[in-house]
Structure 1
Amino acid sequence: MRRVLFLLVFSLAASSAFAEESNRDRLIKTNACSGCDLAGVDLSGVGLIHADLRGADLSGAKLQSVNLNASQLDGAKFENADLRSALLGGAHMEGAIFKGATMDGATLTLAKLVNANFEAASLVGVRFDNANLESANFERAKLVDADLYNARLFFANFSEADLSGADLSAADIGEADFTDAVSNEKTTCPKFGSGPCWGEDSTK
């Protein structure tokens, strides 16, 4: 009986590993894997410009320095993934989930991130300049030294986020929520003044 159970467990584990590897190979070969299970996959440094990963699950994936510029990533899941220094410029990521992800040094210039979720993500030094972040969730995110120049932040949630040293110059913050968010004298406010940017003095 124990032998049968062992063989069953081994078979299931092998099938799962094979499926993951097959999805990775499919992505590498075709530059597309919409809706695929790629959780935990290692794609560090891989070039995937214009890739189609809409709805794919990349939770816990290793994506350091991956190049996903101009890719289709709407609804993709990057929860707890490692995206340090990743290139996501101009990518379409509406509704994508980056909850708990590590994205320090990543570039998301001109990205479309409407309704994206960055809750509790590490976004130190990330470039969001000229990105569309309407209704995005940055609750408890670490945005130290992040570049949000000219970003659309309409209805975005920055409650309890750390924006120390961030550049929000020319950003559209209409109806954005900065409840208990942190800014300091190194933060550049939307009207180009030095922080703190909100609280009693919200004119900067």
Structure 2
Amino acid sequence: MKYLPAAIAALACLVPFTSPNAQPSPEVEKRVAAMVAVQFKTILNCERCDLAGADLSGQFLRLAAFQSTNLEGADINGAELTGIHLNRANLDGADLSRTNMAGAVLTGASLRNANLAYARLDAVRMAGADFTGANLTGANLRMLEYVEGTSFAGVTARGAIFRHAYLSRVNIAGADFSGADFTRSKGLTNTQLATACGDEHTILPPGLKIPPCKAGNETPIRPQETR
């Protein structure tokens, strides 16, 4: 275990954030290699790191500390992220599809235009998070709490699961909830729903209704019961 302190020290070295849409720098690639080398041996700490464009697909990052980390445009597809701390992190344009983020902390994080298709986001804390324009197709968002100030504006959430989620005062303007399941969700109002759209397959709590999406949308994706 002698190599662990050195590896952790290497991860703690910070470099300035890169410009938007930048390719991963040699420094980022070196940092990722260090993470991969110890991912099953320690809880990773890379707060305020620059990991823009990094390839972390399929990696084990459970409980990692990535507060205020720059992950813009990163490929994190299929990674294990349960309990990860991404407070105030920049995940704009990142690929988080099919990740397991159950119990993660995303308070104040930016996920604008991120791909979260079929991601597991149940019981995530996301107060103040910005998902504007994100792809949440088929995502599992059961039991959401601590969502005050969260924006789902313009998201595509076709077939997403929001069962038992608390959604009071969440911005859903322009969101597509075709085929989404809001069974026993709380806090939603018709005023909120009037700014979004759905279809005949959208499941809402009693007394709520949602305008239909414009004609021409694809057949909605049904929620995956196994998620």
Question: What is the match of residue 148 of structure 1?
Answer: 152
Indicate how the Cα distance of structure 1 residues 46 and 75 shifts in structure 2: closer, same or farther if over 3 A, else same. same
1:44 aligns with 2:50: no
Indicate how the Cα distance of structure 1 residues 21 and 185 shifts in structure 2: closer, same or farther if over 3 A, else same. same
Contact kept? 1:64, 1:82, Cα under 8 Å: yes
Contact kept? 1:90, 1:111, Cα under 8 Å: yes
Contact kept? 1:34, 1:54, Cα under 8 Å: no
Q: CA RMSD in A?
A: 2.8
Task: Please give the TM-score of this superposition, normalised by the length of structure 2.
Answer: 0.73
Question: What is the match of residue 113 of structure 2?
Answer: 110
3-state SS in 1 of match to 2:4: helix
1:77 shift after superposition: 1.5
Q: 1:202 aligns with which of 196, 202, 209?
A: 209
**Per-residue CA distance 1:95-137 (angstroms, 9 max, x = gap):** 1111111111110000011111111111111111100010000
One-letter amino acid of the structure 1 residue matched with residue 161 of structure 2: N
Question: What is the match of residue 125 of structure 1?
Answer: 128
Deviates more, 1:109-118 or 1:33-42: 33-42
Contact kept? 2:189, 2:208, Cα under 8 Å: no
1:162 aligns with 2:166: yes
Tell me which structure has the larger Cα radius of gyration: 1
Question: What is the match of residue 81 of structure 1?
Answer: 84
Task: Report how many aligned residue pairs link the two structures.
Answer: 188
1:199 shift after superposition: 2.8
Unpaired runs of 5+ residues, structure 2, are 13-25, 198-203, 212-227
Indicate how the Cα distance of structure 1 residues 70 and 31 shifts in structure 2: closer, same or farther if over 3 A, else same. farther
Contact kept? 1:163, 1:183, Cα under 8 Å: yes
Contact kept? 1:96, 1:117, Cα under 8 Å: yes
3-state SS in 2 of match to 1:188: helix
1:72 shift after superposition: 0.6
Indicate how the Cα distance of structure 1 residues 183 and 47 shifts in structure 2: closer, same or farther if over 3 A, else same. same
3-state SS in 1 of match to 2:192: coil
Indicate how the Cα distance of structure 1 residues 100 and 152 shifts in structure 2: closer, same or farther if over 3 A, else same. same
Question: What is the match of residue 30 of structure 1?
Answer: 30
1:82 shift after superposition: 1.1
One-letter amino acid of the structure 2 residue matched with residue 74 of structure 1: N
Question: What is the match of residue 4 of structure 2?
Answer: 17
Identity among equivalent positions (%) equals 25
Contact kept? 2:184, 2:205, Cα under 8 Å: no
Deviates more, 1:112-121 or 1:29-38: 29-38
Q: For residues 186 and 16 of structure 1, what CA distance do their matches in structure 2 show? A: 56
Contact kept? 2:63, 2:85, Cα under 8 Å: yes
Contact kept? 1:147, 1:168, Cα under 8 Å: yes
Indicate how the Cα distance of structure 1 residues 28 and 70 shifts in structure 2: closer, same or farther if over 3 A, else same. closer
Q: For residues 46 and 18 of structure 1, what CA distance do their matches in structure 2 show? A: 18
Task: Please give the TM-score of this superposition, normalised by the length of structure 1.
Answer: 0.81
